[in-house]
Amino acid sequence: MSRILSEHFSLQLNRKPVRRGAYGENGRGDILSLAGLELARNEIATWPGYRPTALRRLDGLARAVGVRTVLYKDEGARFGLGSFKALGGAYAVASVLQREVEARTGKRPTTEQLAAGLLKEMTAGMTVTCATDGNHGRSVAWGARTFGCQCVIFVHATVSQGRRDAIAACGAEVRVVDGTYDEAVREAAHVAAKNGWQVISDTSYEGYTDVPRYVMQGYGVMVEEAIEQLPRAVLPTHVFVQGGVGGLAASVCSYLWERFGAKAPLFYVAEPETARCLYLSAAEGRPTADHGSLDTIMAGLACGEVSLLAWSILDSGADGFFSITDASAAETMRLLAEGRYGDNPIVAGESAVAGLAAALLAAGDPDMRQAVRLTEDSVVLVIGTEGATDPAVYERIVGKAPEHVVANWSNTVKEEELQ
């Protein structure tokens, strides 16, 4: 066992009983469900360019940290947008447009019909909007362009120019808001209410809970793909996922809990130490905001306020919450890019690696290793949520451009066996 990362980190174990009841209790099944996921996947599978992303084996890394294997769900190729967000934001755009068309005509169109432009005379006058750290806004903009409506995206001041340009390239108007992500969320809601636009947010708050369900439900496609890609139906013993407002984590957690019940893997959430609203919520036992600077290289996780819907699942569904440093995230990006332990290189963006970094940190610390129950037989699944969504930022951190990270992935994990 090697200690690969040596930076400071913290773990807040869930103080409440974890996954003791059936998933559908206490209204959780009304938020996310396997039935809802089936509807989402049936639609998303018809979209132009849909194909499951790869599940990578990192056996060299696994040997170095003393576990059976590490599995990396690589979302860098999702719909050519570079991140998993395409599954959520674009699905929510399509769902809202379907709802609006049905309200006007009495007939619900398919997303295929929307994408073919068959309802464009009706949808072209509709506008969707949201606040974003980058990836979600790009997904919403891509969804608007794909399904035929207008789009305005709000970004906060520290969102990189590269990410702003990527959103604009999808046809959206980009507006900059002074302050944090959470302030951009409020501005988007205010302007939308004034103009009659539809907010497509990946976070939920008091009075706004319907659309985020679509967003989170779309994310479930990713984890279902990963489970299907496992050889011999091997189930991970541990899953580590990024935090943010909690939408992704809740989606993954709900899927594992509902599908596997008491046999679900141990589930941990990782956040930047400067933006750890989920960690603080677990410590307080209720949704708690992080009022700090939210300044982190993990731009997609720079969120100070918890999604209320997400917390209603994570509150009793997650085993624990990690906070990690930017230095740990950067080092994890570099070791993946180098293929440092004999694995093929992977291009992973700043917000893609928090879960993996938390797993590596815990595995290298004897006390933490015991606390999260990692052993030589552990099968660890992590979600690599993005590639180099801003190549300039990636090159500054890793030391080389993403196109210079060369890998020859001749086989995916689906074609191999876990020995």
Contact 213, 219 (CB under 8 A): no
**CA 120, CA 41: separation in Å to the nearest integer?**
23
Residue 250's SS3 state is helix
Task: Indicate if 85 belongs to the active site.
Answer: yes
Closest CA to 254 of 30, 14, 33: 33
Phi, psi (5° rounding) for residue 113? -65, -40
Contact 364, 3 (CB under 8 A): yes
Reported for 189-197, long-range contacts at CB under 8 A and 24+ positions apart, including other chains, are 191/129, 191/152, 191/154, 192/129, 195/127, 196/127, 197/127, 197/128, 197/129, 197/152
Based on DSSP, count helices (H) and strands (E) in the chain, helices before strands.
17, 11
**CA 202, CA 87: separation in Å to the nearest integer?**
11
State the catalytic residue, choosing from 59, 73, 74, 133: 133
What is the DSSP annotation of 149-217? -EEEEEEETTS-HHHHHHHHHTT-EEEEESS-HHHHHHHHHHHHHHHTPEE--SS-BTTB-HHHHHHHH
Closest CA to 177 of 152, 210, 212: 152
Residue 69's SS3 state is strand
State the catalytic residue, choosing from 85, 315, 319, 365: 85
Count of CB atoms situated within 10 Å of the CB of 28: 23
Task: Indicate if 326 belongs to the active site.
Answer: no
First to last CA, the chain: 19
Residues whose CB is less than 8 angstroms from the CB of residue 286 and which lie 6 or more positions away in sequence, other chains included: none
* Apex 171 CA angle, 165 and 176, nearest 5: 50
Residues annotated as catalytic (active site), given as ranges: 85, 133
